[in-house]
């Protein structure tokens, strides 16, 4: 929300099939580098409407994992949108000052395959004992760009739409987007 804005601007989404959907997203500060925020948030709205979100009854026993995986899927959705719109996807920028501490281990994104496995094990432990759960959205944000970074060649600054990496990213989006929980095996398979 904008600084000093009334929270009353936010409201529960009430939508009926066939009706247009309006969404307003408030991004504090400069929007530079946050161009895909609207697309990312749109994914969350669509996941709720399609009953594939973290709140879907099927995800009740794994709510924290579902929340984290939905964040990763939303990031993929935004990246695929940028790739299709622009014909390329720039290497995501990382804040060098951000360090996540997961299972008492400090980690800086993008995570290696081994670090991802530690995070996934931590998510499973949290869902097994939800009283000790840290915010799963933050865990999901820490994983968010990891699958995308694994597609980038070390020296490349961007992925072209018609490159093998571009085709792989779009294929990943097609696989993952219908059900954010399908992010889990994708993450498990990262090397």
Each residue of 85-130: pLDDT tens digit? 999 999 888 777 888 777 678 888 888 888 899 888 888 888 887 6
Under-70 pLDDT residues of the chain: 1-14, 26-35, 103, 130-137
Question: Residue 101 class from Cβ within 10 Å (0-12 exposed, 13-18 middle, 19+ buried)?
Answer: exposed
Domain boundaries, the chain: 36-188
Helices (H), 33-130: 37-49, 63-86, 113-128
Q: According to the model, what pLDDT value does residue 141 have?
A: 79
Q: According to the model, what pLDDT value does residue 34 have?
A: 65
**Residue of 67, 80, 85, 84 whose CA lies nearest to 40:** 80
Q: Which residue has the tokens 């000093």?
A: 4
Whole-angstrom Cα Rg for the chain: 17
Q: According to the model, what pLDDT value does residue 64 have?
A: 83
Q: According to the model, what pLDDT value does residue 76 have?
A: 93
Q: According to the model, what pLDDT value does residue 30 have?
A: 60
Model pTM score: 0.82
Q: According to the model, what pLDDT value does residue 32 have?
A: 56
């Amino acid at each position: 929300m904008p600084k000093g804005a009334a929270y009353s601007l936010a409201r529960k989404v009430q939508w009926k099939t066939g009706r247009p959907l309006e969404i307003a997203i408030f991004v504090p500060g400069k929007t530079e580098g946050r161009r895909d925020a609207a697309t990312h948030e749109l994914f969350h709205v669509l996941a709720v409407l399609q009953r594939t979100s973290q709140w879907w009854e099927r995800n009740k026993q794994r709510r924290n994992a579902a929340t984290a995986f939905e964040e990763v899927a939303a990031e993929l959705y935004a990246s695929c949108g940028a790739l299709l719109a622009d014909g390329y996807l720039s290497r995501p920028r990382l804040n060098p000052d951000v360090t996540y501490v997961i299972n008492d281990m400090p980690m800086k994104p993008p995570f290696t395959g081994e670090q991802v496995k530690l995070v996934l094990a931590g998510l499973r432990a949290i869902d097994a004992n939800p009283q000790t759960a840290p915010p799963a959205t933050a865990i999901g944000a820490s994983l968010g760009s990891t699958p995308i970074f694994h597609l980038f060649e070390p020296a490349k600054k961007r992925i072209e739409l018609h490159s093998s990496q571009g085709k792989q990213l779009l294929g990943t989006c097609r696989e993952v987007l219908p059900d954010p929980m399908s992010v889990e095996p994708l993450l498990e398979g990262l090397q």
